[in-house]
Amino acid sequence: MRPRQWLKNTSLFAAILFGGEVLNATALTKTLEAAIVFSFLSSAAYLFNDVNDRGRDRRHPLKKERPIAKGTLPVSIAVFTSCLLALGSLAWAGIRFSHSFFALAATFLLLQLSYSLYFRSVIILDALVVAMAFVLRVYAGAFVMPTPISSWLILSVIGLALLLAFGKRRSEWTLLSPLKRHPLTRETLRHYPDTLLDSIISMAAAFTTISYAIFSFQTSPITPSSQLLELIPPTLATPKWMMLTIPLVIYGVSRYLYIIYEKKEGESPEKALLSDWPLLATTILWATSIFIIIYGLGG
């Protein structure tokens, strides 16, 4: 079920965080419930994927330890659990949330399943589908209340998702190429030369940084709280406070590139986030800064 990858579903909180609703107990509770729904849908898709890929996983130096590939989890139990999670989560979404949220949840599940069955074998589209899944998560969080969401935030999410997706493939290419196994474990790797992956990763990193910079410029609180006005010079009375977080994003993106190319650990982005202390600390500092700027300086 890969609970570590449930970290991806924290993107559902983006809408209420940047929309100033995260301190709203109703919005926070409802979004948390929505994140649980998406986590169960994700687990249903992961189980389906591992059943479908069990043959290829057995030839992978790391994935061969997965329970289904290893044979410690019977396929019948995995399939039953996958169906139970999928149907139960969709029923939960239909009963507890709006029709729009339910439709988006169903689309998310179909996208995940179509990725396992087809898109993962199509060069470029495999990463674009991964990016689309992140976009659906962000919109799902916006549909909960509902809450407006910036188009520049969506573009930032797309850029980050592409960076993670292609970074994962670059790390897999690095890991499997010396073993001559990349055609056996992920078919698209035979069509991804390292030069192409490097170019796309550079493009995604630049796209993410620029999109976030524009988003931060538009999102900054226009007028800080009256208490703060008494403590700062008039020149700084109406700055674009969110732009102070841009260096953190630049460092975070650069650190992830370091993880891909030097540490060679980008094969699992969620593992890289939790195990690399500089990247984890930067992420926590970024989230803390966002909270202070929006909910403190914004009055």
**pLDDT tens-place string over residues 222-257:** 555 555 556 666 666 556 788 889 999 999 999 999
Q: Which pLDDT tens digit goes with each residue over 59-77?
A: 777 778 888 888 888 999 9
- Whether pLDDT at 185 is above 70: no
> Do 106 and 203 belong together in one domain?
no
> Do 144 and 156 belong together in one domain?
no
Return the amino acid letter for 203: M
CB atoms near residue 177 (< 10 Å): 12
Range of the domain at 99: 1-148
Could you say which of 102, 128, 148 is where a domain stops? Answer: 148
Torsion 163-165-167-169 (CA) sign: negative
Q: How many domains, in total, are found in the chain? A: 2
**Local structure of residue 44 (DSSP, 8 states):** H
Q: CA-CA-CA-CA torsion for 260, 288, 294, 213, nearest 10 degrees? A: -20
> Do 116 and 158 belong together in one domain?
no
Q: Which pLDDT tens digit goes with each residue over 16-25?
A: 998 888 889 9
Return the amino acid letter for 166: F
Say if residues 23 and 295 touch (Cβ distance below 8 Å): yes
CATH number of the domain bearing residue 21: 1.10.357.140
Least confident of 60-64, 87-91, 191-195, 275-279: 60-64
The alpha carbon of 61 is separated from its chain's Cα centroid by a whole number of angstroms, namely 25
Region class of 171: left (phi > 0), else alpha (psi between -120 and 50), else beta: alpha
- Helical H segments across the chain, by residue range: 14-18, 25-52, 54-57, 67-70, 75-96, 99-117, 125-144, 151-176, 182-185, 194-219, 226-229, 246-258, 269-275, 277-292
Could you say which of 148, 176, 200 is where a domain stops? Answer: 148
Tokens of 148: 């407006």
Region class of 223: left (phi > 0), else alpha (psi between -120 and 50), else beta: beta
> Do 169 and 272 belong together in one domain?
yes
Residue 233's pLDDT is 66
> Which string of b and e fits 208-239 if b means at least 16 CB within 10 Å?
bbebbbebbeebbbeebeeebeeeeeeeeeee
**Rounded distance, CA 36 to CA 44, Å?**
12
Model confidence band, residue 32 (pLDDT cutoffs 50, 70, 90): very high
Mean pLDDT of the chain: 86
> Do 165 and 272 belong together in one domain?
yes
Could you say which of 128, 148, 168 is where a domain stops? Answer: 148
Mean pLDDT, range 37-56, rounded to an integer: 91
